[in-house]
Amino acid sequence: MLCGMPSVCTRGHLQSQVRPSGQGYVRPCNPSNQPGASTVNRVFPMPEPGTCGHPYYRIHHLVPTAAVLGICLVLLSLAFPAAAAEENRQDRARVVFLPFQVRLPGQYDYLQEGLANMLASRVTAHAGIIALHQSARTRQMSAYLQAGKEQEFARMLGRIRADYVIMGSLTGDKGAYQLTTHVFARSAATTPRRFTRTIQSLDGVMAGIDELAWDIAVEVFGRQRPGPARAAGTKKEGINAFTTEHPERAFREGLYRGGELGLDTKSGFALVTTRRSRKIPIGLKAMDVGDIDGDTTPEIVLATNTELLVYRYADDYFQKVTSLPLASYLRVHAINLADLDGDSRKEIYISANNGARPASLVAAWKDNGLSLLRGDIPFYLRPEQVAGRRPILLGQAGAPGGQPVSPTIYRLIRKPDGSYDKGEPLPLPSGLNLFDFTRADIDGDS
């Protein structure tokens, strides 16, 4: 049986009609249009009866997807044996989180999976569910819904055997923003739920998502909210613009305590705070942080496929300072900052390759901008800092015969003309590459 496209009638139901041959079609929104004897109808009751123009069904760009999803879940509930569903309910609920639909002017596509990931993490922490999200499978399911491929969506959802599906949206409305989530249960007897939160700026997204997560945990999964919650988007005196409100801290403490990271109550570790900046719109390949201009304030140095960029973080924004173009044939795989010449300004050591051979670079701050000190260095580069000693530069050359690197790692010596040559080899176990190790005094013998 294929999942047909839904229609909304004045009885406040979504209906899907499927021909005997299995081909679905859309029934016009007409209460007097009664189905024929050869038509199989599946009715999915919605929370508030109303007409086709009911505001519930006019959610911007979300209606078709949510409606199709409701019908697919009804048909899937008929396909699952009752015993299997009951067995799944005895364990933690399995919940699919589809990518959000973000309808905002500008480049906000990155929020589609970011918001779904954030909501999944918080609902997991608050309700103890098993979250299925941020995977190729959920992205494919979302694509099926957007393309109207209900059969493929239903088949994939059936293989996952989820108990719930949650989908959401972020839209702008008269200077504010609305976060909306729809929660669909596999059981046709369970009414789908809709939760919304209004935030005044995108800085309130995390708090708004946490409020939605608590709404879902309480209303859908029967959890108890711990005390009065702060409304999404409200401000707090002090450094609120620089640090995150309590939902992010509570989420991370609850999600990571004693589990993946081993930070239980006896570990001696505690999460102090977290912070999040606005997105830097680049394809990041490598980065490091350090004082490159000698003003004691750290800069953020990043590399893309085409340029080296320097940013500062101030007033809750990443502010671009300068950039240096990179050759298009280079592939950067590491950036490290270190002050090897002792002038209190860290140089930028860029480890890169041109095809199968090393082609690294060294840049530095000069005349209020970046200057390339040396390019096409035939070594992969990594500065090494050992406590109490001046940093040194390590390098590993390429190897003939198609091998990516030679077996020996050397301390590099900078010659008067700015080029680099091999110094003494490092006494290391065989088989190590330049980025496989670190050296430190762990026993105090200097």
HEC-encoded secondary structure of 247-297:
HHHHHHHHHHCCCCCCCCCCCCCCCCCCCCCCCCCCCCCEEEEECCCCCCC
Fold of 286-425: Methylamine Dehydrogenase; Chain H (2.130.10)
Rounded to whole angstroms, the Cα distance separating 113 from 140 reads 13
Q: Write the class of the CATH domain 63-234.
A: alpha beta
- Check residue 258 and give its pLDDT: 35
Distance in angstroms (rounded) separating the CA atoms of residues 122 and 97: 12
Q: What pTM did the predictor assign?
A: 0.42
CA angle, 82 as apex, 80 and 87 as ends, to 5°? Answer: 100
Tokens of 84: 């299997």
Rg (CA), the chain: 28
Tell me the angle at which helices 136-146 and 150-160 cross, rounded to the nearest 10 degrees: 150
- What is the CB neighbour count within 10 angstroms for residue 7? 20
Provide the H-helix boundaries in 63-108.
63-79, 82-89
What are the average pLDDT values for consecutive 10-residue runs of the chain, which has 446 residues? 36 33 34 31 32 33 50 52 45 87 83 87 88 78 81 81 88 87 80 90 88 93 73 41 40 40 44 54 83 91 90 78 91 92 92 89 92 93 84 88 78 92 89 83 76
Helix (H) or strand (E) holding 112: helix 111-127
The pLDDT of residue 421 is: 92
Query: What is the DSSP secondary structure assignment for residue 107, as one 8-state letter?
Result: S
* Domain extents in the chain: 63-234, 286-425
Q: What's the pLDDT score for residue 442?
A: 80
Contact (CB, 8 A) for 247 and 226: no
Beta bridge partners of 64: none
Task: Report the DSSP pairing between strands 299-303 and 307-314.
Answer: antiparallel
Dump pLDDT digits (tens) for 232-250: 444 444 333 333 344 444 4
Site of tokens 């450094």: 239
Rounded Cα distance between 301 and 310, Å, is 5
Q: CB of 183 within 8 A of CB of 192?
A: yes
What letter does residue 192 receive in the DSSP assignment? P
Give the span between the Cα atoms of 283 and 303, in whole angstroms.
Answer: 8
Cα 302 to Cα 281: distance, rounded to the nearest angstrom = 12
Dist CA 329 CA 140 (whole Å): 33
* Dihedral angle over CA of 339, 340, 343, 348, nearest 10: -50
Helix (H) or strand (E) holding 241: none
Q: Would you give the end-to-end CA distance of the chain in angstroms? A: 73
CA gap 345, 244 in Å, rounded: 32
- Identify which of 394, 380, 278 has the alpha carbon closest to the alpha carbon of residue 338: 394
pLDDT at 388: 74
